Chains A and B, each alone.
Chain A
Amino acid sequence: MIFLKNIAKAVLPFAALSVLLQFLSARGILNPYWVQIFQLACIVAISALGLNLIYGFTGLFSLGHAAFYGVGAYTAALLTKLYVGAYGDEAVIAVGAVFLGSLLAGGFAAAFLAFLVGLPTLRLTSDYLGIATLGFGVIMKVLFDNADSLVPQLGGARGMTGIARMTGIPWAVAALVAAILVIRNLVHSTYGRALIAIREDEVAAAAMGIDTFRFKLIGFTAGCAFAGVAGGLYAHLYTFLHPSSFDFMKSFDVLMIVVLGGLGNITGTLVASFAWIFLLEGMRVALPPEYIEFRWVLIPLLLIVTMLVRPRGLFGVREFPFLRSKVYR
């Protein structure tokens, strides 16, 4: 079975990395803070890959990514809160299954919402789509703020607490690897080419027999599903959710990562996600306390300078070898 071989080839190094990190952190060699940051970087990378699929590959300008991330987070958190309590500590497999199910449900919820949002809005073009999705992001923030009036467990503006801590290195790495494989395999198939064709020229893509609206919807929904799963992992990493973590500024964060890495570039998104998170958190540690607030002065400057020097992103079109198309083997 050729696909089993391929998957094994891609997964094994990551599995090894995951085991190594897990081992180091269990032995206390790695600082738990950095372990947490590493997981956060994986999560952000998953979400950013989703946005790259939407914007980088399909060319749909979405400024509402954090809202879908939030939907995934709240959905998954609510589900584990409702169902995990039934099991004792020893029921690792059952709990793991519930967690996995909740993550997938979070992804599904985000995708379903994306489908509903996309149905009317994906007829809009470029900037207008961006504005509509930005507006959707703000609306979702307002709904998160008021969510406790519907479901008290969601916490509303006070934040949602008491989420079990379940995300660990194996979960984060496995999810990221799955996300990378899915996006790579999708992009280098006829479906991915259809998405890219739509980005390049929608009229010409339709003239090739591609149902452009359907594929835009697929690209958007799939990308938001990534965000949903990432949100679920996030919820179970920090065990606390607050609506302000999902407002439109957070959508900009993901957008900046994707653009910095290079649109339509998987490698770039991965590197930019890790660089972004480690820079952000690293500065928190590295800067003396009285200069902590300079973080957000330096980051935008760095961002502006990067854009001025490399307007097409850090990586342009170069990819890690295993992410390249294998057309010319």
Chain B
Amino acid sequence: MILEVQGLTRYFGGVRALDGVDFRIGRGELAGIIGPNGSGKTTLFNVITGIYRPDRGVVSLEEGEITGLPPDEIARRGIARTFQNIRLFRELTVVDNVRIAHHPHVGYGAIAALLRTGAFYREERRTREQAEEFLSIFSLQDRGKALAKNLPYGDQRKLEIARALATRPKVLLLDEPAAGMNPSEVTTLMEFILRIRERFSLTVLLIEHQMRLVMGICERLIVMDFGQVIARGLPGEIRRNRQVIEAYLGKRDDTDGGGIRKKAR
């Protein structure tokens, strides 16, 4: 098991955003989390990565507990993520966005930086070359000098993944990577995800609404609704699961023959 979540619960005011979430992800798996809007998927990511503390429950990475650690510590232990509403360092260049991710691995001290020693130049060159390598995976190598904010939307999404990869994670969490992409972009993205998992022997957990992507590449699915896991299994099983269909389309209602009705609580 590389990532394990047990009984994770988080309240916002009186709302239970997460309500006893359990799941385990094996090393090298590519799993998807789906569920209607507001079902707690992003909150789950935020709790795993330490942005929110859980009110109850445990998160473990490779059998070590990481619950409640600060986000930077969790990142250094090997969980990287992207954000639903892209969060790049907008005023920095594309290369520097990726180079920042190298920060915990840079091999020179503050004194060396201030004096600009040989080690400083060597390391700077190394991180730059590595950053360019990460960019080339996503065919962004020619945009290195551009400011991140000037990239087109699709490239910003890719850059965010490149940046996350550059932290050298064991587990990569992608929050709606295909949001706002057209079908052909989604196809390329699917190939990218498969390729980077192979190349960096990653475990990938992604949140996505685009069923083509989810059904196309995820080996296993976790379905959430109202902060709870309501189903898990292979994509084929999920597709036929009654509870899942109800969560998405509402319960069949006798009076109007199946309109969409939110579960009331």
Q: Which of A189, A193, A209 contacts B167 (CB 8 A)?
A: A209
**Which residues of B lie under 8 Å from residue A208 when comparing CB positions?**
72, 75, 100-101, 103, 163, 167
Q: B118–A2 contact, CB under 8 A?
A: yes
Q: Which of A174-207 contact B (CB under 8 A)?
A: 181-182, 185-186, 189-191, 193-194, 196-197, 200-201, 203-207
Q: Is A212 part of the contact surface with B, judged by Cβ < 8 Å? A: yes
A-contact bits for B108-151, CB 8 A (1 contact / 0 none): 10100111111011011001100000000000000001000000
Q: Does A131 contact B (CB under 8 A)?
A: no
Interface contact B92-A200, CB-CB below 8 Å: yes
A252 CA to B95 CA, complexed, in Å: 35
On whether the beta carbons of B117 and A210 are closer than 8 Å, the reply is no
Taking CB atoms, residues of chain B closer than 8 Å to A193 are: 92, 96, 99-100, 103
Contacts of B39 in A (CB 8 A): none
Contacts between chains A and B (CB distance < 8 A), count? 115
Q: Which of B11-19, B83-91, B238-246 forms contacts with chain A? A: B83-91
Determine whether the beta carbon of B104 is less than 8 Å from that of A209. Answer: yes
Contact call A200/B89, Cβ cutoff below 8 A: yes
**A197:B116 contact, CB within 8 angstroms:** no
CA distance A13 to B101 in the complex (A): 37
Contacts of A189 in B (CB 8 A): 108, 113, 120, 124
**Could you tell me if A204 and B87 are in contact, using CB atoms closer than 8 angstroms?**
yes
Q: How far is the CA of A210 from the CA of B100 in the complex (A)?
A: 9
Residue of B nearest to A187 (CB): B113
In the bound complex, CA of A210 to CA of B89 (Å): 13
CB interface residues, B 148-203, toward A, < 8 Å = 163-164, 167
How many A residues face the partner with a CB closer than 8 A?
Answer: 31
User: Separation in Å of the B142 CB from the closest CB of chain A?
Assistant: 13
The closest CB in chain B to the CB of A201 belongs to B87
A204 engages B92 (CB within 8 Å): no
Residue B71 lies at the interface, judged by CB distance under 8 Å to chain A: yes
- On whether the beta carbons of A211 and B70 are closer than 8 Å, the reply is yes
> B residues 31-79 with Cβ under 8 Å of A?
49-51, 70-73, 75-76
Q: Contacts A208-B101, A208-B163 known; A203 to B89 CB distance under 8 Å?
A: no
Asked if A190 and B49 sit within 8 Å, CB to CB, the answer is no
Check A190/B127 contact, CB under 8 A, given A208-B75, A209-B167: yes
Chain A residues whose C-beta falls within 8 Å of the C-beta of B167 in the assembled complex:
208-209
Asked if A207 and B89 make an inter-chain contact with CB atoms under 8 angstroms apart, the answer reads: no
Q: Does B102 contact A (CB under 8 A)?
A: yes
Is A320 interfacial (CB 8 A cutoff)? no
Closest residue to B163 on the A side, CB-wise?
A208
Query: Which residues from 206 to 229 on chain A have a C-beta closer than 8 Å to any C-beta of chain B?
Result: 206-212
User: Complex: how many Å from CA A200 to CA B95?
Assistant: 15
Residue in chain B with minimal CB distance to A213: B70
Q: Which residues of B contact A194 (CB under 8 A)?
A: 100, 103
Nearest A-chain residue to B120, judged by Cβ: A189
Q: B152 CB to closest chain A CB, in angstroms? A: 19
Nearest CB of A to B92, in Å: 6
Per the bound structure, the CA–CA distance linking A209 and B80 in Å amounts to 9
Q: How far is the CA of A210 from the CA of B74 in the complex (A)?
A: 10
State whether A204 and B70 are in contact (beta carbons under 8 Å apart), knowing that A190-B106, A191-B113 are contacts in the complex: no
A309 to B73, CA, bound (A): 44
Chain B CB within 8 A of A328 CB: yes
CB neighbours of A204 from chain B (8 A) = 83, 87-89
A328 neighbours in B (Cβ, 8 Å): 145
Partner of A206, one of B71, B93, B117: B71
Interface centre among A1, A185, A204 (most CB of B within 10 A): A204
The reply to whether A207 and B90 contact each other, CB–CB distance below 8 Å, is no
The reply to whether B128 and A327 contact each other, CB–CB distance below 8 Å, is yes
- Find out whether the CB atom of B76 lies under 8 angstroms from the CB atom of A209: yes
Docked complex Cα distance between A189 and B108 (Å):
10
Contacts of B220 in A (CB 8 A): none
Interchain nearest-CB distance for A196 vs B (Å): 6
B89 touching A191, Cβ below 8 Å:
no
Residue of A nearest to B51 (CB): A203
Query: Smallest distance from the beta carbon of B206 to chain A beta carbons, Å?
Result: 16
Minimum Cβ distance to chain A for residue B124 (Å): 8
Q: Which residues of B contact A185 (CB under 8 A)?
A: 113-116
Tell me, in angstroms, the Cα distance from A191 to B121 when the chains sit together: 14
Check: B10 CB closer than 8 A to any chain A CB.
Answer: no
**Chain A contacts for B145, CB-based, 8 A:** 328
- CB neighbours (8 Å) of A206 from chain B are 50-51, 70-72, 75
Q: List 14 A-B contacts (CB under 8 A).
A: A1-B118, A3-B117, A189-B113, A193-B96, A197-B92, A200-B90, A201-B89, A203-B71, A203-B87, A207-B49, A207-B81, A209-B75, A209-B104, A327-B124
> Which of A's residues lie within 8 Å of B, judged by CB?
1-3, 6-7, 181-182, 185-186, 189-191, 193-194, 196-197, 200-201, 203-212, 264, 327-328
